[in-house]
């Protein structure tokens, strides 16, 4: 049994709370080696990714210690070459992060709906177009890359779990990156510039000015690789007690960790709501052959319903409890709907609890 902890980078996995010792959540429909999003479908409205891009049309924001882990890994020559090129560019390179160029964030934000998985302009600099598309820094990938799946076995409930996991993991990365940067260089600073805005240099794909870069890096400018390696050493020496103290200083730590456990419980021990109604935000498109394609929580995970199942959705009404609806369908239509099917419909947010 693989635990959730074992799916995280080695650098800091031991610092995560006990909920991370529970079994990993397998996403069997996200078949990455034969990408589930890359098959051509004739169904209208279906999104298809390019096989030479997949979902890696994203530029990770790597915390300093994971950049150090890449540089220290003896079996990661290609990832190191790419990491060194990123560092040498000085674009998005700060004491806490090896971050995307700001321009990339702006472009991704503006083009995500139309172009994610479909445009090379957004491709990750660590993506290798070999063997069906590989990550050159996989063992040390960050929170978003560790938790993204295009499809979830448990549908919207699975998505909610991975989102909670991503938020807590990203939170841990922020806490550790800041701690490690300060430990190596107390004068380290991050650029003070608003999100989703661009400097002249950003716009023209140039490095920040010497003055701006030196304001962040001080005496470490030009020795960034060494700096990242040292932050990796700092994080490797953080104890669980120390981590607990660092997290306790952050107001949202407990809430974010608790949310991981709550969302994990919802998919490992799911319970049917007392009342369910068709999701008012569901998008439906007729498919060839009479089935109905429905999209709820994600455009990447449409479901196909038989005409019979589609018709029965209208039987679920807010004035009846689920038990009453099932009893009526059994009595009047000789129709028995199994718990398993209702759980699938609930997990995929095809049926949802009515508004309170
Ligand atoms: S998670 Fe990414 S690589 Fe894996 S199947 Fe989905 S789109 Fe493809
Ligand atoms: S770091 Fe790896 S997993 Fe993440 S986007 Fe890049 S290639 Fe994909």
Instruction: Give me the tens of pLDDT residue by residue for the chain, a chain 356 residues long.
Output: 999 999 999 999 999 999 999 999 999 999 998 999 998 665 667 899 999 999 999 999 999 999 999 999 999 999 999 999 999 999 999 999 999 999 999 999 999 999 999 999 999 999 999 888 899 999 999 999 999 999 999 999 999 999 999 999 999 999 999 999 999 999 999 999 999 999 999 999 999 999 999 999 999 999 999 999 999 999 999 999 999 999 999 999 999 999 999 999 999 999 999 999 999 999 999 998 889 999 999 999 999 999 999 999 999 999 999 999 999 999 999 999 999 999 999 999 999 999 98
Q: What is the ipTM of this complex?
A: 0.99
Both 128 and 213 in one domain: the answer is yes
Sequential DSSP letters for 113-132 = HHHTTT-GGG--TTEE-STT
Residue 250 sits in the same domain as residue 334: no
- Whether residue 105 sits in one domain with residue 30: yes
Total number of domains in the chain? 2
Q: Give residue 42's pLDDT.
A: 57
Residues 6+ apart with CB under 8 A from 120: 50, 52, 53, 57
Could you say which of 245, 268, 291 is where a domain stops? 268
Q: 332 and 224, same structural domain?
A: no
Determine the residue of 30, 81, 127 to mutate for testing ligand 2's pocket, defined as the one with the most ligand atoms within 8 A of the Cβ atom.
127
254 and 323 housed in the same domain: no
The alpha carbon of 188 and the centre of ligand 1 are apart by a number of angstroms equal to 37
Considering every ligand atom, which ligand is closest to the CA of 139? Answer: 2
Long-range contacts of 193-197 (CB under 8 A, 24+ apart): 193/102, 195/105, 196/102, 196/105, 196/106, 196/109, 197/102
What residue's CA is closest to ligand 2, atom 2? 135
Which ligand places an atom closest to the C-alpha of 58?
A: 2
| Ramachandran category for residue 27: left, alpha or beta (phi over 0 → left; psi -120 to 50 → alpha) | beta
* Nearest Cα residue to 99 out of 208, 251, 26, 25: 208
- Let me know whether 94 and 202 are in one domain: yes
Asked whether 37 lines ligand 1 (CB < 6 A), one says: yes
Alpha carbons 356 and 345: distance in angstroms, whole number: 20
- What is each CA distance from 18 to 3, 13, 49, 95, 258, in whole angstroms? 11, 11, 36, 30, 11
| Shortest-distance atom of ligand 1 to CA 38 | 8
Which ligand has the nearest atom to the CA of 83? 2
Supply the pLDDT for residue 356: 85
Please check whether residues 219 and 339 belong to one and the same domain.
Answer: no
Question: 248: Cβ–Cβ under 8 A, 6 or more apart, which residues?
Answer: none
The closest-lying atom of ligand 2 relative to the alpha carbon of residue 125 is: 6
* Residue identifier of the C-alpha nearest atom 8 of ligand 2: 56
The model's pLDDT over 19-36, given as tens digits with 9 standing for 90+, comes to: 999 999 999 999 998 999
Q: How far does the centroid of ligand 1 lie from the alpha carbon of residue 9, in Å? A: 19
User: Which ligand gives the minimal distance to the CA of 143?
Assistant: 2
Among candidate residues 246, 268, 290, the one where a domain is terminated = 268
Instruction: Output the six-digit token pair for 346.
Output: 């609930």
Q: Are 60 and 166 in contact (CB under 8 A)?
A: no
Say if residue 299 is in the same domain as residue 255: no
Provide the pLDDT for residue 123: 98
Two tokens at 59? 């530029």
Residue where a domain stops, chosen among 240, 268, 296: 268
Q: Are residues 244 and 309 in the same domain?
A: no
- 80 and 202 in a single domain? The answer is yes
Around ligand 2, the residues with Cβ closer than 6 Å are 56, 58, 60, 124, 126-127, 135, 137, 141, 145
**The pLDDT value given to residue 41:** 66
The domain containing residue 201 runs over which residues?
5-268
pLDDT of residue 334: 97
Q: How far apart are CA 344 and CA 328, in angstroms?
A: 21
Whether residue 227 sits in one domain with residue 106: yes
The answer to whether 157 and 30 are in contact (CB under 8 A) is no
| Nearest CA-CA partner of 326 in 318, 343, 338 | 338
Q: Domain check: are 183 and 300 in the same one?
A: no
């Amino acid at each position: 049994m693989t635990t959730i902890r074992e799916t995280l980078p080695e650098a800091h996995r031991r610092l995560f709370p006990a909920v991370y010792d529970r079994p990993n959540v397998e996403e069997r429909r996200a078949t990455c080696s034969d990408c589930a999003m890359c098959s051509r479908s004739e169904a209208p409205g279906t999104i298809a990714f390019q096989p030479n891009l997949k979902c890696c049309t994203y530029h990770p924001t790597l915390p300093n210690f994971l950049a150090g882990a890449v540089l220290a890994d003896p079996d990661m020559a290609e990832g190191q070459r790419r990491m060194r090129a990123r560092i040498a560019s000085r674009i998005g390179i700060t004491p806490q992060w090896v971050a995307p160029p700001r321009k990339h964030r702006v472009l991704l934000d503006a083009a995500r709906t139309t172009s994610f998985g479909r445009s090379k302009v957004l491709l990750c600099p660590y993506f290798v177009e070999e063997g069906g598309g590989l990550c050159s820094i996989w063992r040390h990938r960050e929170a978003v890359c560790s938790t993204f799946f295009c499809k979830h076995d448990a549908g919207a409930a699975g998505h909610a779990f991975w989102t909670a996991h991503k938020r807590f993991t990203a939170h841990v990365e922020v806490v550790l990156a800041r701690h490690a940067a300060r430990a190596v260089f107390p004068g380290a600073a991050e650029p003070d510039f608003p999100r989703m805005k661009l400097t002249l240099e950003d716009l023209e794909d140039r490095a920040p000015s010497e003055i701006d870069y030196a304001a962040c890096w001080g005496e470490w400018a030009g020795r960034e690789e060494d700096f990242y390696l040292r932050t990796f050493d700092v994080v490797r020496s953080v104890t669980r007690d120390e981590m607990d103290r660092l997290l306790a200083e952050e107001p949202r730590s407990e809430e974010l960790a608790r949310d991981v456990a709550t969302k994990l419980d919802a998919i490992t021990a799911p319970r049917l709501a007392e009342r369910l109604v068709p999701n008012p935000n569901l998008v439906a498109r007729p498919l060839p052959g009479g089935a109905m394609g429905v999209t709820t929580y994600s455009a990447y995970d449409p479901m196909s319903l038989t005409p019979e199942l589609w018709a029965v959705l209208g039987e679920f009404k807010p004035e009846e409890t689920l038990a009453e609806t099932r009893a009526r369908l059994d009595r009047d239509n000789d129709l028995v709907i199994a718990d398993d099917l209702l759980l699938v419909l609930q997990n995929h947010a095809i049926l949802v609890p009515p508004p309170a």
